[in-house]
Amino acid sequence: MVNKVSEKYYEQALLIRRTEDTFLDLFNEGSMNGTVHTCSGQEFSAIAFASILENQDFVFSNHRCHGHYLAKTQDLKGLIAELMGKETGTCAGIGSSQHLCNDNFFSNGVQGGIVPVSAGMSLARKKSKDKSIGIVFIGDGTLGEGVVYESFNLVSLLSLPLLIVCENNRYAQSTRIEDNLSGDILKRPESFGIKTFHSNTWDVDELLKNAKKSIDFIRNKGKPAFHLVDTYRLNHHSKSDDHRDVEEVNKFHELDPLNIFQESEPEVFKQMLEKVNSKIIKVIEETNNEKEISGESYVGQKEIVETLDYFPLEAPNERVVTRINAFFQKILREDEKVIFLGEDILSPYGGAFKVANDLSKNFPDKVISTPISEQSIVGLANGLALSGYRPYVEIMFGDFMTLCLDQIINHASKFHHMYNKKVNCPVVIRTPMGGGRGYGPTHSQTLDKFLVGIDNVTVIAINSFLDPQELYKSVYENEIHPTIVIENKLDYARFVASKKNDSYYLEKSNSTYPEVKCSPKSSNPDITIVSYGGIANDTFEQLDHIFEETELIPELLIISKISPLNLEPIFTSVRNTKRLMVVEEGSKEFGIGAEILSRVSEEIEDIILLKRIGAISVPIPSSRQAEEYVLPNTNIAKEVAKYIRK
C-alpha cells in the first residue's frame, strides 16, 4: 500500500517514465533528431535526491539525465522542446538529450568529466559561504574513468560539500558489471576517506530516508559523501540496442515499484496515468509548431578585424618570469574572484619555474596546491569558472597538456554554446613549453598545434619582446571563454624587450594581443618572416645572418595570439614582399605554420615563396648536440637560405 505522502513521488516517477516513453515514440515517428538515453526503472533515484534539494543547490548529471532534470527543475516543457529541437527548449535545441542547463542543473554526455567540474562548483559555493550543496550523478560504468578517482581525492582533500550518487544499473552500455568492474564499489570512495551510503530503487521508502540522510550529512558537516544506488535500466541503453537476457529484464520489470504500484492500486494508478499523459500531450501540442533556432543565430557574429597602428616597444628592465609573477600578485590582490591553482606552487618552492613565487604566502586562501591530477585540476577550474570565479591553472610542463584535453575540448570549450550561451567559462590555463634545457622527449615539446583550432578557446604564446603583463591583462579584461597561455622555459630568464638591432625598427601593434613588427630601416623588406613564442628570440637574433645568407632583407612579425589567428598584419606584409616563411619550434607537419601559409595562399596571388621552418619530427633528445640538431632554433638562417637557393 502506498501512503498519501509517497503518492506524490510515484506521480513524479510516472511522469518521468511516460516522458521517456514519449521520447522513444517520437524518435520512432521521426519527430526527434539525434539520440536519447532513457532512465526507465531508475526514476526513484532521481526523485529521492534531486527533488529534496533547495533552489540554490546544484546538480550535475550525465547522458541519462532526463529524470534528474525533471526532478530538480520540474521543467517538462523545456525538456520536451529541447529534444524536439525547438528554440523554446531549455538550451534552444542545441544540447538535446545529453546536454542540459537550467536552474542550477548541468549535464554532459562524456563519462567522468563532470565529476571534477562539479567539485569546482562545490569549491566555489564553499568559498562563497552560501551553504548550498551539490550532487553529481554517475553510473557504475563511469567508475572505469581515472578522473573519477582524481576527483575523489580532491573533494576529500578540500572537504567539499558534494554528494556523488552512483546509480549502479549493472551495465556499462552493453557490458555487464561482472565483466568490467573488479572489487567492491563502496571501498573505492572509502579509501579516500569519503563517507558512504547504500540504497536501492526497489525499496522506495528506505531510499527516500537514506537519500535525506546523505544530503543532511553533507549540509551539516560540509564534507563529501558517496551514495551507491542499486537499480536497473528497463529500456535499451539508447533507442533500440538491447542485447540483455530477456528473462533478466522481465525479472526486474516484476520488481519495478511503478509496475507493482499499478497492480496493487489500479484505480489510483489509472488516475495518475491520465493526469500525466494529459500534461505531456498538452506540452507536445504546444511545442509541435514552434520554430527551431537558426544557424545564423546559433553561430553569431564573426570576430571584428581591428585597425592597427604601431608604437615603440616598452622595456620594463625586468625578466619575463618577474613580470608574470607581478601580474598575479596584483590580480590576486585586486580581484576576490581570482584563484591560482596547480602542482607544487606553494611557498617556498613557488612552482617549477618560480612563476608562483610568494603567491601562497601573500594570498594563502586564493592559491590552491593540487595533487598530480592534471585533468581534474582543469575540471576543478572549469567548475570555478562556471560559478563566476576567474581561475588560473598552472600545468607544470606543456607536455602534460595532453592529460587535460578532455576537460578543454569536451567541457570548457563547449559549455557556452551547448548551453545556449547561458554560461561562460573564463578559465585560464598557463604552461611552459620548449626545448633547449636537455629535459628530453617528454619535457621539451612544443605542442601548440594540438591546442589551436578548438572551439571558443583562445591560445596566446608569450614572447620576450612584449611585456607578458600586457597580454595577461588583455586575457583578464576580454576573455569570457577558455584561454591557454603558452610560456617558454628559456624566455623566463630573458629581460623583456631587451633585444636591439640598429638596422630595424621594433614596434608593437595596438591590437588586443599585440604583434611585434621588426621592420628594416634602410629599405623595403624582401621577405616576411612570422614567428611566435620562445623561438621568436632566436629568429630575431639571426635577422642579419639571414640577409647575409640570402641577400633578402627580412621583416619579422612576432604574433602573440596563435588561435584564432589575426592574419591582417601578415597579409599586409606579404602583399609587399611576396615571400613568406613561418618559423615555429614544434614540428612543422600539420602545424601553425601550415595554417598561416594556407590562409595566405588563399588570400594573396602571385606569391614567390611559401615555406615553413620547424623541428624535425622525432622525439626531442636530451643530449645537447642531438637536441640542437632536432630543434630549429640555431639553424634558422641556414634553413631560410636553403629554401631560397632552391
* Residues 442-500: tens digit of each pLDDT: 999 999 999 999 999 999 999 999 999 999 999 999 999 999 999 999 999 999 999 99
Between the alpha carbon of residue 104 and those of residues 122, 352, 460, 569, 590, the distances in Å are: 12, 37, 32, 44, 41
Q: What is the pLDDT of residue 252?
A: 85
Closest-CA residue to 143 (of 120, 164, 119, 160) = 164
Ramachandran region of residue 52, left (φ > 0), alpha (ψ -120 to 50) or beta?
A: alpha
Grid look-up 505522502 returns: 5
Architecture field, domain 310-493: 3-Layer(aba) Sandwich (3.40)
Predicted confidence at residue 3, as pLDDT, reads: 60
Question: Looking at the domain covering 504-645, what would its CATH class be?
Answer: alpha beta
pLDDT number for residue 644: 81
What's the rounded Cα separation, in Å, for the pair 605 and 42? 63
Select from 386, 384, 385, 408 the least CA-distant residue to 395: 408
Q: What is the pLDDT of residue 177?
A: 72
Whole-model pTM over 0.75: yes
Residue 254 corresponds to which amino acid? Answer: E
Domain with CATH 3.40.50.920 in the chain: 504-645
Q: What is the DSSP letter of 338?
A: E
Q: Which CATH class is domain 4-289?
A: alpha beta
Low-confidence ranges of the chain (pLDDT < 50): none
Under 8 Å between Cβ of 554 and 524: no
- Cβ neighbors of 118 (< 8 A, separation 6 or more) are 58, 60, 134, 135, 136, 162, 383
- pLDDT (tens digit, 9 = 90+) per residue, 311-356? 999 899 999 999 999 999 999 999 999 999 999 999 999 999 999 9
Q: Where in the chain is the domain with CATH 3.40.50.970?
A: 4-289, 310-493
Q: Is 585 left (phi over 0), alpha (psi -120 to 50) or beta?
A: alpha
What pLDDT shows up at residue 170? Answer: 77
Q: What is the pLDDT of residue 305?
A: 66
